[in-house]
Amino acid sequence: MSALNKQPLVMALGIALASAFSSAQASISDNEIRIGYLSDMSGPYRDLAGPGGLEALNMAVEDHGGEINGAPIMVFSGDDRNSADVGANTVREWIDQRNVDMVAGMVASSVTIAATQLLAENDKLAMVAGAAALSITNEYCTPNHVQWVYDTYAMSNGAAKAILEEGGDSWYMITADYAFGHSLENDVTAVVEAHGGKVLGSVRHPLNTSDFSSYVLQAQSSGAKIVGLANAGADTVNAISTAGQFGLAQSGQSLAGLMVFLNDIHALGLESTQGMQLTTGWYWDLNAASRAWAERYQARTGRMPTMVQAGVYSSVMHYLNAVEASGTDDSATVRAMMQDTPINDMFATNGYIRDDGRMVHDMYLAKVKAPDASTNEWDLYEIVRTIPGEEAFQSLEDSRCPLVAQ
């Protein structure tokens, strides 16, 4: 073919490529990818998610180059103050005024349930990294949200089974009085009773309680071998501190922290937490990839990340990769692309998203190190065993999600 004859073909190819690129850009609404970060930024869950989770999200955006096919990635953030009304109003404003495409973060289960239902009604997406209530991907599942890091089923199973195997067959529960706490208590009770143990009683406390004296005294008087803490964040730290002051261990009882985070152990110190068993969805020192990312995070924040903060990064990266691969921010298309793509990153190996929105990945049973076994201030866990994802999470056969064919 002569150079003259090649020219129309080259021009045609150029026009086709330009048209394809223009089409991809045009399918990004407003020519921007808009992400909202919703979390407790100032209350009891600040340290486990909060500003640190926003920093992890910003890392994901930066690692993605800050744009997709020329469309910039915009980030908004809001403090939900652990109020379902505040959270829902924030999300509604983002939908109405800012045309947000996806909301990330979310810690309090009541806030998350309100926000995800609103996002589904408006065909927007949510990547839930912090909320734990099992109902989020059961009764309240939608085709528009994914629960990424853990849930109350996964967090209760590993630790409760291990404690039962060691003879901890009588329990008393100190429970946060809202959706997450109720869900965790119910899941623990099911595990304990299924393995021949008994829950002798429970007491419920408001979110962000500063004085746990009466609750710990009731647990002591129950005579239960195990006092289970169905709470999280500052509530867990305060409960463990109070139990130490009242000599719970000296009275022959043991604490079971069922939703314990790295920042909690760091704050309390190894002297008072050594030997505690817990379930975690991720740990910074799991492997080379987790260490490399965690060290980057620490250089920015001065702290090692919690599993929630790592989950924010992982979930946002998976979303952005799906937008790029599909060439659109259309919710149904992106959700399908995310479900079709395995998760292999610093957070999970061979993770996958089910029809109910549960991201299935390995969980870990960890034991808090003794002070003389720790090499630095963040060397806090010994990973006792890996819990395969299929074992860690509730099966689809037991799901109450209406999206799942029974």
Check residue 406 and give its pLDDT.
55
Q: Which tens digits make up the pLDDT trace of 210-238? A: 999 999 999 999 999 999 999 998 999 99
Tell me the whole-structure pTM to 2 decimals. 0.88
Q: Single out the residue of 303, 261, 328 nearest to residue 71, CA to CA.
A: 328
Pairing of strands 359-360, 352-353: antiparallel
Q: Which tens digits make up the pLDDT trace of 251-264? A: 889 888 889 999 99
- CA–CA distance, 9 with 27 (Å, rounded to integer): 27
Q: Which tens digits make up the pLDDT trace of 250-302? A: 888 988 888 999 999 999 999 888 888 889 999 999 999 999 999 999 999 99
Backbone angles phi and psi of 150, in degrees to 5: -160, 175
Q: Are residues 214 and 193 in the same domain?
A: yes
106: in domain: yes
Q: 2 pLDDT exceeds 50?
A: no
Q: Are residues 203 and 343 in the same domain?
A: no
Q: 20 pLDDT exceeds 80?
A: no
Q: 204 pLDDT exceeds 70?
A: yes
- CA–CA distance, 119 with 115 (Å, rounded to integer): 6
Q: Are residues 43 and 65 in the same domain?
A: yes
Q: Which tens digits make up the pLDDT trace of 59-78? A: 999 999 999 999 999 999 99
- CA–CA distance, 232 with 165 (Å, rounded to integer): 24
- Kindly tell me the burial class for residue 221, based on how many C-beta atoms sit within 10 Å of its own C-beta (0-12, 13-18, 19 or more): exposed
Please, which pLDDT band fits residue 373 given cuts at 50, 70 and 90?
Answer: very high
Domain containing 131 equals 33-150+286-357
Check residue 276 and give its pLDDT.
85
Q: Are residues 70 and 144 in the same domain?
A: yes
Q: Are residues 233 and 310 in the same domain?
A: no
Q: Are residues 206 and 246 in the same domain?
A: yes
β-partners of residue 67 are 72
Q: Which tens digits make up the pLDDT trace of 92-130? A: 999 999 999 999 999 999 999 999 999 999 999 999 999
183 contact partners, CB below 8 Å, separation of at least 6? 109, 132, 133, 134, 135, 152
Q: Are residues 267 and 321 in the same domain?
A: no
Domain tally, the chain:
2
Q: Are residues 178 and 144 in the same domain?
A: no
Q: At 66, which CATH number?
A: 3.40.50.2300
148 contact partners, CB below 8 Å, separation of at least 6? 127, 128, 129, 311, 314, 315, 359
Percent of the chain with pLDDT over 90: 83
The answer to whether 309 and 52 are in contact (CB under 8 A) is yes
Gyration radius of the chain over CA positions:
23
Neighbour-count burial for 75-103, b at 16+ CB within 10 Å, e otherwise:
bbbbbbebbbebbbbbbeebbeeeebbbb
Q: 352 pLDDT exceeds 90?
A: yes
Q: Are residues 143 and 200 in the same domain?
A: no
Q: Are residues 237 and 339 in the same domain?
A: no
- CA–CA distance, 329 with 339 (Å, rounded to integer): 15
Q: Are residues 194 and 74 in the same domain?
A: no
Please, which pLDDT band fits residue 159 given cuts at 50, 70 and 90?
Answer: confident
Q: Are residues 228 and 370 in the same domain?
A: yes
SS3 label, residue 199: strand
Element (H, E) at 385: strand 381-387
The answer to whether 187 and 259 are in contact (CB under 8 A) is no
Check residue 10 and give its pLDDT.
40
Q: Which tens digits make up the pLDDT trace of 297-337? A: 999 999 999 999 999 999 999 999 999 999 999 999 999 99
85: in domain: yes
